[in-house]
Structure 1
Amino acid sequence: MKKLTSVLLCALALLALPAARAGTVLVAAASDLAYCIDALGAAFGKQVPGARVKVSLGSSGNIFAQVRRGAPFEVFMSADMAYPARLAAEGGADAATLIPYAVGRIALWSPDARFGHGSGLRVLLDARVKRIAIANPDVAPYGRAAREALRAQGLWDAVQAKLVVGENIAQTAQFVESGNAQFGILSMSTLSGSRLKGTGSHYLIPDAGLAPIEQGAIVTTRGKANPLAARFVRFLRSPAARAILLGNGFALPAPAPAHG
């Protein structure tokens, strides 16, 4: 009888293993990830059977502010390294988990066939260009990158009156799609992995002399209680995740160093 009981207990324990691995991780992600975050979540679920990734999208600055105010996010995928590093310095995240997972690129995009990109960003000085959309430089790293690129070419002051500012990169793209702006400075991930792929024309803005848009992920203080949070962050450096990111317009940071 005891042997039978032992066998039954072992069988029940084995049946319970998939349920023990199952769970949900709450991820707050920068808007430039909108078109690949589902694929990342699905790939993570294949590596960790039963795991679900629940995502909220927004500008990195707004997510940072929400986490500071107690939002229940367990992983923060920022469009820069500064916001997660600052969150860790303030005690809102685990500094030991901070990793770079992608490098963003920016491009000038327009659906308007009247304009070419032979002159690069200087096309924005054309008198026919009335509105130019960029993300908010105060909260969106891609907005800061757009401002930096325009300043580097001496155009920032000249185009100030034409700017339409989006809360994040997704809203910035919507401004151009809707005709409220003729040009937008967008992330290549937005142009590569969305319905915009192959539409209009774009000019990849050279990154020479500009700070790289290195994007970072971190486990929040709340996320330390969920083992899936740290596991998801580590997954972002895996070959499967890197392939998804590369296929969606991102460049990649150096691979994680091997251990052992």
Structure 2
Amino acid sequence: MTDHNRKAKSKMINKLIGTLFVLHVFIMTGCTNANDEDEPLYIAAASDLYHALTEAGEEFTNETGIPLEFTFGSTGLITQQINEGAPYDLFLAAHESYIDELIEQEAILVDSKHYYAIGRNVLMYEEESFLSESGQEQQYLLSDEVGIIAIANPEHAPYGKAAKETLEAWGIWEQIEEKLVYAENIRQAYQYVDSGNADVGMVALALVSDTDYEYQLVDEATHEPIIQALGIPAVSSKQEESEQFIEYLTGKRGQEILVKYGFDLP
């Protein structure tokens, strides 16, 4: 498949997914408006947060009694959904630029932006003998031992964009482009390796730090920092509850959980 066709197909699929999801959320919330006080806090979050927010959310609900419902996906696609009016109460993006974009569109409350973490990329693989030290990454990825490399789509996933920047910094992007498979989000890139459909993945440290997979940290100097931020959508009817979760996540305990899963602090 040519790069042009790949991008065109990806854009078409992304638009369809975004439209269907927004319809689903509107129907779901429309059916429950009569019992608004019992509704959970609807939180959209970048896929790298899957493990960390699962733990943090359970602890937060136990402490406050506020139920949470998470939707994980690529930051770019969630941004599109919020621009189209998806009724989320909070958005945790994998890069602050998407929060800034939504603030400019008046889709996120300007005073609600907070930094909560800095993400790290890793090379994830199964072979124990893959890399004994950094500096061998380029040669290995170029070798015949690696047939498929999974990364998140650079067009709408900050970790995918960072992966592309790293591969370009290593000077091998054009040489390995035919080996690349674009995942919808960073968690799907992880799943490609986990399922055996890719030999190597450049994925978020937060997704592999608590697994049995081998990984090599990517030098953060090879890409722009993955500075992660959050914000409250203007359509939210639960701004007070959202602020409570923000306070928790950016507070001592929330930050401890994020560090546990491999995030750096902002």
Structures share fold, TM-score greater than 0.5: yes
Q: 1:242 to 1:112 in 2, by over 3 A?
A: same
Bigger CA radius of gyration: 1
Amino acid aligned to 1:226: Q
Amino acid aligned to 1:71: A
75-84 or 118-127, which moves further after superposition?
118-127
90-99 or 106-115, which moves further after superposition?
106-115
The alpha carbon displacement at 1:41 in A equals 1.2
Q: Deviations over 1:199-226 (max 9, x none)?
A: 2x21101112532111111011012653
Partner of 1:18: none
Partner of 2:123: 108
Q: CA separation in 2, counterparts of 1:173 and 1:152?
A: 22
Q: Does 1:96 align with 2:116?
A: no
Amino acid aligned to 1:150: L
**TM-score normalised according to structure 2 size:** 0.81
Over the aligned positions, Cα root-mean-square deviation in angstroms equals 1.9
Partner of 1:102: helix, strand, or coil? strand
Partner of 2:256: 243
Which structure carries more helix by proportion? 2
State the aligned residue count.
229
Amino acid aligned to 1:227: E
Q: 1:37 to 1:225 in 2, by over 3 A?
A: closer
The alpha carbon displacement at 1:113 in A equals 4.2
Q: CA separation in 1, counterparts of 2:238 and 2:70?
A: 18
Select the residue among 93, 99, 107 that pairs with 1:78.
Answer: 93
Q: 1:55 to 1:130 in 2, by over 3 A?
A: same
Q: CA separation in 2, counterparts of 1:22 and 1:36?
A: 25
Amino acid aligned to 1:34: Y
Identity fraction in percent: 33
Alignment check: 8 A CA contact 2:131 2:216 kept: no
The alpha carbon displacement at 1:22 in A equals 7.7
Q: CA separation in 2, counterparts of 1:120 and 1:94?
A: 45
Q: CA separation in 2, counterparts of 1:232 and 1:64?
A: 20
Partner of 1:245: helix, strand, or coil? helix
Q: 1:117 to 1:69 in 2, by over 3 A?
A: farther
Alignment check: 8 A CA contact 2:45 2:71 kept: yes
> Which runs of 5 or more structure 2 residues have no equivalent in the other structure?
1-36
Alignment check: 8 A CA contact 1:43 1:241 kept: no
Select the residue among 182, 190, 211 that pairs with 2:199.
Answer: 182
Partner of 1:134: 151
Q: Deviations over 1:152-181 (max 9, x none)?
A: 111111110100110001110111122221
Alignment check: 8 A CA contact 1:104 1:250 kept: yes
